[in-house]
Amino acid sequence: MKISIASGKGGTGKTTIATSLALSLRNCQFLDCDVEEPNAHIFLKPKFHTTRKVLVNVPLIDNTKCTNCGICSDACEFNALVQLPDHVIFFADLCMSCNACKILCPENAISMIKKEIGELKIGNAKENTLFVNGLLRIGSPRAIPIISAVKDCIDDSKVVILDAPPGNSCPVIETISDTDFCLLVTEPTPFGLWDLKIAVEVAKKLALPTGVIINRYGFGYEEPIEEYCKDENIPILMKIPFDRSIAEAYSEGIPLASHDTEWQKKFRDLYAKIQELVK
Amino acid sequence: MFKQLTVISGKGGTGKTTLTASFAYLTQGKAIFADADVDAPDLHLILHPTIISEEELYISKKAVRDEEKCVKCNKCGEVCEFNAISAYDLNHFKCEGCGLCVRICPEKALSMKPILSAKIFESQTRFGPFVHAEMTIGEGTSGRIVDQIRQKARKIAETKKLNFVIVDGSPGIGCPVIASITGVDLACIIVEPTLSGIHDLERIFGVAQHFKVKSVVCINKFDLNITNTNNIIRFCRKNNITVVGKIPFNEIVPKSIIQGKSTFELEENPVSKEIISIWKNIQTELHD
């Protein structure tokens, strides 16, 4: 079972819920797919035993073979290669590693070399959780290959929890694709509702079953969210009250399920509901 | 000439939009606002724009196949680095639009189709002009959409002789964030005093430094955890970053969002009072 946790809007409580679910279920595999700003390790405190570089292919042009024909820069849809009269300039940050330049070069002047864009860290966390975390290198724009490398570690024999980044574009799609269920976390404000609607549409396009968790319940905008979920036929699986003590515990890196252990049963019930819905 | 400011945070949900909306109130008529959080845009829910013009952006392309011409040779599948295509399968979401399959197909069965990535709007609001976008669901390229939004905002700022371009950024440190800060005069990093917030501040500050963008820090909900707030201040001091202000944890913020207003349009409150001084400090930094 692979459960992804996404939200559209940032800071609605994805990591709080993902880490609490892992602690309550035990023996899970936890994948922190927010490779731009990963935070789950702060809550699950893993001991890392392996660090692996995430490498992508980028072209290296052999100037002794290059005839400056311009085919490579012409083929590059990402403007990473620019043909000048007597040489080609390469902008590594624009390269998507598609290999088009190498394959299309008539002189075989291009070979692919490895470039590091981030790293993977693998370890063991509380409650026998297998923990994987990806880290995008500062200044690199390419989160997708890192998320993909994190997902390559999936252990199908476990319940796998994938903590997604905020937003609704490529990094989120990469994270939630091919998961069995997508939990959408929202907060009862117009911001929360607007971004939830976009997230629901993304999940629909990917044909993913979804359920909603309303965090900070009590802000005063619960009704529009509940009505929307009812209209869309999306189950509301959990409500977490707005409570300053939860926010304070969060600020110290204490997950909800440890701050108040009563929540562990609620998270196990949540998992049971998800199992029913996936059937 | 106008000054450009982008509000960013690293971590999501720390108060970027609330702060930007308050700046909108304070700079009425002197600034243009742009929502660069194209993934999850929310600023319009406070500014309530009236759309003046709309532009369709076709910035990415995806492979499409003419099944009648295809002979299932799978040459496309052999070269695709994104596992997006094979003789019997074509996954629109995985396609990055590199076009290699189109160039390699011996039967000319493939072509590239331009995709509507987003609609960009120029709007009028009670606080001044506003540029925002609506991304097509499931289509990526948010970095390039941000480029277009900023370009449009700058043009309007020039024509209308405005003093500021103020951009509401997105969370994270990846391509849309980079696109929202390159070449700006100042990045205002809004951070909350949580361990996650501090962790993410260090990374987003690293990105600003990497792209040589001057940054300042604003601490939101500072009284939620005073120890962490002090640690943020220490981090800023060590790295020579000005702390422009500390906003208290206050229910006026969700209340203002629910009413669709800036914090200034509700009863007198400590959040707005602090933001007045933050805006003063930011102006000083912008003109430094």
B223 Cα distance to chain centroid: 27
Per-residue tokens: B235: 């981090």
Q: What is the distance between the alpha carbons of residues A166 and A30, in angstroms, rounded to a whole number?
A: 17
Identify the pLDDT of residue B93: 86
Nearest-CA residue of chain B relative to A191? B42
CB spacing of A219 vs B258 below 8 angstroms = yes
Per-residue tokens: A149: 């490398």
Say which of B61, B81, B225 has its CB closest to residue A97.
B81
**What SS3 state is found at B106?**
coil
Angstroms from A25 CA to nearest CA on chain B:
23
CB of A91 within 8 Å of a chain B CB? The answer is no
What are the E-state strand segments in chain A? 2-6, 29-32, 47-61, 81-83, 88-90, 110-125, 129-136, 160-163, 181-186, 210-217, 236-241
Identify the pLDDT of residue B60: 87
Identify the pLDDT of residue B139: 79
CB of A27 within 8 Å of a chain B CB? The answer is no
Per-residue tokens: A64: 């002794």
To test the contact with chain A by mutation, choose from B196, B255, B263 the residue with the greatest count of A C-beta atoms within 10 A, namely B196
Q: Are A26 and A124 in contact (CB under 8 A)?
A: no
* pLDDT, average across residues A183-187: 98
Q: What is the distance between the alpha carbons of residues A232 and A165, in angstroms, rounded to a whole number?
A: 24
Per-residue tokens: B54: 């709309």
CB of A152 within 8 Å of a chain B CB? The answer is no
DSSP assignment string, A199-233: HHHHHHHTT--EEEEEEEETSS-HHHHHHHHHHHT
Say which of B79, B196, B206 has its CB closest to residue A39.
B196
Cβ neighbours for A118, distance < 8 A, ≥ 6 positions apart: A35, A53, A54, A134, A135, A136, A137, A140, A145, A146
Low-confidence residues in chain B, pLDDT < 70: 140
Please report residues of B whose CB lies closer than 8 A to that of A206: 93, 138
Identify the pLDDT of residue B149: 97
Which CATH number does B60-115 carry?
3.30.70.20
Per-residue tokens: B2: 């106008």
DSSP letter at A190 equals H
Identify the pLDDT of residue B160: 97
pLDDT tens digit sequence for A8-34: 999 999 999 999 999 999 999 999 999
**What SS3 state is found at A129?**
strand
Per-residue tokens: A266: 């609620």
pLDDT tens digit sequence for A65-84: 999 999 999 999 999 999 99
pLDDT tens digit sequence for B143-152: 899 999 999 9
CB of A56 within 8 Å of a chain B CB? The answer is no
Domain coordinates in residue numbering, chain B:
3-56+119-286, 60-115
The position carrying tokens 């998320």 is A147
* pLDDT, average across residues A148-177: 96
Q: What is the distance between the alpha carbons of residues A207 and A161, in angstroms, rounded to a whole number?
A: 19
Please report residues of A whose CB lies closer than 8 A to that of B259: none
The matching CATH number, chosen from 3.30.230.10, 3.40.50.720, 3.30.530.20, 3.40.50.300, for B3-56+119-286 is: 3.40.50.300
For each of the domains in chain A, give its residue range(s) and CATH number, in order of start: 2-45+126-278 (3.40.50.300), 57-115 (3.30.70.20)
pLDDT tens digit sequence for B5-23: 999 999 999 999 999 999 9
Q: What is the distance between the alpha carbons of residues B222 and B194, in angstroms, rounded to a whole number?
A: 9
Could you give the maximum distance between any two Cα atoms of chain B, in Å?
Answer: 71
* pLDDT, average across residues A175-188: 97
Identify the pLDDT of residue A29: 98
End-to-end CA distance of chain B: 15
Identify the pLDDT of residue B288: 78
Nearest-CA residue of chain B relative to A148? B82
Q: Are B146 and B172 in contact (CB under 8 A)?
A: no
Burial bucket for residue A219 (CB in 10 Å: 0-12, 13-18, 19+) = buried
Identify the pLDDT of residue B207: 97
DSSP letter at B93 equals T
Cα within 13 Å of Cα(A59), Cβ side: 29
pLDDT tens digit sequence for B157-181: 999 999 999 999 999 999 999 999 9
Instruction: Report CA-CA distances (Å) from A44 to A39, A137, A147, A154, B242.
Output: 9, 22, 19, 18, 32
Say which of A103, A166, A170 has its CB closest to residue B12.
A166
Residues 203-222 of A with CB under 8 A from B: 205-206, 216, 219-221
Cα–Cα nearest to B264, from B77, B44, B39, B26:
B26
How many Cβ pairs within 8 Å bridge chains A and B?
196
Per-residue tokens: B1: 């000439």
Nearest-CA residue of chain A relative to B14? A11
Identify the pLDDT of residue B142: 83
Identify the pLDDT of residue B259: 97
| CA-derived radius of gyration, chain A | 22
pTM of the model: 0.95
Q: What is the distance between the alpha carbons of residues B87 and B70, in angstroms, rounded to a whole number?
A: 8
Cα within 13 Å of Cα(A270), Cβ side: 29
Identify the pLDDT of residue B70: 97
* pLDDT, average across residues A239-255: 96
Per-residue tokens: A32: 């922190």
* pLDDT, average across residues A217-232: 97
Please report residues of A whose CB lies closer than 8 A to that of B194: 250-253
The position carrying tokens 């929310």 is B42
Identify the pLDDT of residue A93: 87
A108, pLDDT greater than 80? yes
ipTM above 0.90, yes or no: yes
Q: Are B121 and B57 in contact (CB under 8 A)?
A: no
CB spacing of B96 vs A96 below 8 angstroms = yes
